Chain A
Amino acid sequence: MAENQPEKPVKSDDPVQVELYEKRKKLYVREVHGLFARWRFIAMATLLGFYYGTPWLTWDDRQAILLDLPARKFYILGFTFWPQDFVYLTALLIIAAMALFFFTAVAGRLWCGYACPQTVWTEIFMWIERKIEGDRNKQMKRDKAPWTPLKFYIKGTKHVAWLVFALWTGFTFVGYFTPIKELAHSFITWNLGPWETFWIFFYSLATWGNAGFLREQVCIYMCPYARFQSAMFDQDTLIISYDKDRGDPRGSRRRSDDPKEKGLGACIDCGLCTQVCPTGIDIRDGLQYQCIGCAACVDVCDSVMEKMDYPKGLVKYTTLNSMNGKPTHPLRFKVVGYGAMILIVTIGVLSAIALRTPLNMDILRDRSALYRETDEGLIENVYTIRIANMDTVDHQYRLSANGIDDLVLESDETEPTLKTGEVTEFTARLQVDPYLIKQRSTEVTFHLQALDNPDVAVSHDTRFLGPTNL
């Protein structure tokens, strides 16, 4: 515990209840080079490239991925999704969760170390920090030193660079929800809408705070996955571990010394593994929940082992089984099960999307009157009909209704034409001879069918209300 300070003076006969605040020590993470650092760089460059590049891609003359919230339509490549398609989003979340379980079971915290936005943006912020402030030692020295104009200048430059990068991040984020080219134009001419402005700055500040300041605390305190991932671990899960049998007892020595003579293990206790750790743990203390599996300690330890002419792999990716000298089983029931579930749900969603009817009809009964009598003595109900052409081509539709004999449908729009993506609303009236209705409330069905394609058709049930004293 770093500093144990009672929150308030404790009276002697109070039950022992002391609030302890552990003051967070700022981590100065040392830069690391090596095999896994290279992989991490490739993963991060790819993911950042996707994030910043995707909104600029076009598909059929419009943004390839646009979650157009103002228009309530999601464009994803050739598909258009409507609020009615919410179920696919749910399925997508299930697939994402299953994929996370799958990768956790196979490779431990692969997500945390290589792909989590928190890791990716923290890394890039640390990279900017190193470019401006210098390496770990320089940063620590500067932070201890008193404030001078130079320190102020360097710190200020770092924050400006961070904020510019964060602003670009926030702008890109909003670019997924409103067309990014128009957004860029409004941004340059400083003509943004109030809400776009708000979200750009809100997201920018969140990025700046999370990647610049909160960093590993997000993983430790905020991440639900970090808390429960251990439940998905087993003896065959890939983890990063220090080989205690080989490494201990630790101790410094000269390169020429024979460790056996000095009674030492392979660990020279240089402490580099703790300096490169982005969450500030010592991997030699065993598997800890703060470990995000980034393998920075593996890289740095390998480089030390190389310098010492010792075999590499004192800290390495391994499994509990392998550490105990037992065989590792990559294919387990759990792995195959998660894999099969991902496959099944994915196929299900894709076929459901392929088979969905690209037409929607909502019907609202006119609430102002239950029914009315026309001049001809017929009973009339009024409905508001809202239809949406969710297809990629224009269609003309025919509206019809049945449910009661001799039902008459009257509307200005019995054969509406809708362009692709168009939504329209109109009024329709159903009229029937009062002698033909048997009860107060009868079920009637509206049908809407495309004239050029009978498969593009939907039906909607509603009620027809008549006089009570029949």
Chain B
Amino acid sequence: MDQPIPLIQKVICVLWPSFLTASFATVVFFTVFDPNDFLAYSGFDISRLGAYTVGFFLFWLLTGSSCLLTLYFGKPCGIQKPPKDRD
């Protein structure tokens, strides 16, 4: 049987890789796009630092959901063994 995975490792599996990729995405995204350029037309009154922050957490939410789904679908499916293997 596979080695069991501790709960803390599962929590980290969701929060940590998503944090890393979200940080990377935030850096790349805001290097290319200046929030002031698109916020000016949107009506949001938010500083650049605020836009970076909100952007980062939106990215984290996105990457985090993806990690959560991976964890969910990574669970064993509980498929029954063929009858001959029983008893």
Contact = CB atoms under 8 A, between A and B. Distances in A.
User: Does A associate with B in a complex?
Assistant: yes
Interface of A: 13-22, 24, 69-70, 72, 83, 86, 177-178, 193-196, 198-199, 217, 221-222
B4 A86 contact: no
Given A69-B52, A195-B50, A217 B34 contact: no
Contacts of B79: 15
For the complex of A and B, list the 3 residue pairs with the smallest distance between their C-beta atoms, beginning with the closest: A20-B4, A195-B49, A221-B12
B78 A17 contact: yes
A22 B6 CA distance: 6
Contact of B31 (A86, A196, A199): A86
B9 A196 contact: no
B84 interface: no
A198 B47 CA distance: 14
B1 interface: yes
A15 B48 contact: no
B7 interface: yes
B78 to A, nearest CB: 6
B34 A83 contact: yes
Contacts of B70: none
A177 B48 CA distance: 12
Contacts, number: 54
Main secondary structure of the interface of A (DSSP, over half): loop
Contacts of B86: 13
Contacts of A193: 47, 49
Contacts of A196: 49
A19 B80 CA distance: 18
Given A13-B86, A70-B48, A21 B6 contact: yes
Contact of A70 (B6, B12, B47): B47
A221 B76 CA distance: 21
B8 interface: yes
B8 A19 contact: no
A24 B80 CA distance: 33
Contacts of A178: 49
Interface string B5-18: 01111001000100
22 contacts: A13-B86, A14-B78, A15-B78, A15-B79, A15-B81, A17-B78, A18-B4, A20-B4, A21-B4, A21-B7, A69-B48, A70-B49, A83-B31, A177-B49, A178-B49, A193-B49, A194-B50, A195-B52, A196-B49, A221-B9, A221-B12, A221-B16
A68 to B, nearest CB: 10
Contacts of B52: 69, 195
A222 B86 CA distance: 40
B6 A24 contact: yes
A69 B79 CA distance: 52
B53 interface: yes
Given A15-B80, A193-B47, A22 B4 contact: yes
Contacts of A199: 53
A24 B8 contact: yes
Nearest to A85: B31
A217 B8 CA distance: 9
A259 B34 CA distance: 72
Interface string B42-78: 0000011110110000000000000000000000101
Contacts of B6: 21-22, 24, 221
Contacts of A86: 31
A32 B7 CA distance: 32
A14 B86 CA distance: 10
B23 to A, nearest CB: 12
A221 B49 contact: no
Contacts of A16: 1
Contacts of B48: 69-70, 72
